[in-house]
Amino acid sequence: MALYSEKVMDHFMNPRNVGIIEDADGVGEVGNAKCGDIMKMYLKIDDDVITDVKFETFGCASAIASSSMATELIKGQKLEDAMKLTNKAVAEALDGLPDYKMHCSVLAEEAIQAAIDDYKNKK
């Protein structure tokens, strides 16, 4: 069995929504000291809907793929729905991650929540 699914490899090799939103409404940055992965999410929000999302991730294939998939899953979503996105949903959308890489999907969940919290704190 391959270490990573085709979806993980696709999102790693061709990540979606990479970059910075200069005038982001919410920015969340999280990291994992054990593995060294750092993830930053930028949100553009209009009327409580995520109209644009970008990310910057320093990390392994799983971290980049998780970031990419998470942005795809929340783009166009209401904030309340985006807050419900779990790391398990991100991993499932990628057709699974190895157990020892599940922390990467946790980072994606935490980065989204941190960006939404940042947005709410600015209001």
Active site positions, annotated: 35, 104
The total number of structural domains in the chain stands at: 1
pLDDT above 50 for 102: yes
Mean pLDDT of 4-23: 96
Buried b / exposed e over 22-60, threshold 16 CB at 10 Å, is eebbbbbebbbeebebbbbbbbbbeeeebebbbbebebe
Residue 41: CATH number of its domain: 3.90.1010.10
Neighbours of 80 (CB within 10 A): 9
* 1 belongs to a structural domain: no
Q: Quote the pLDDT of residue 2.
A: 63
Would the pTM of this model clear 0.95, i.e. be above it?
no
Q: Tens of pLDDT along 34-69?
A: 778 899 999 999 999 999 999 999 999 999 999 999
Q: What is the mean pLDDT of the chain?
A: 94
Q: Domain span at residue 92?
A: 6-122
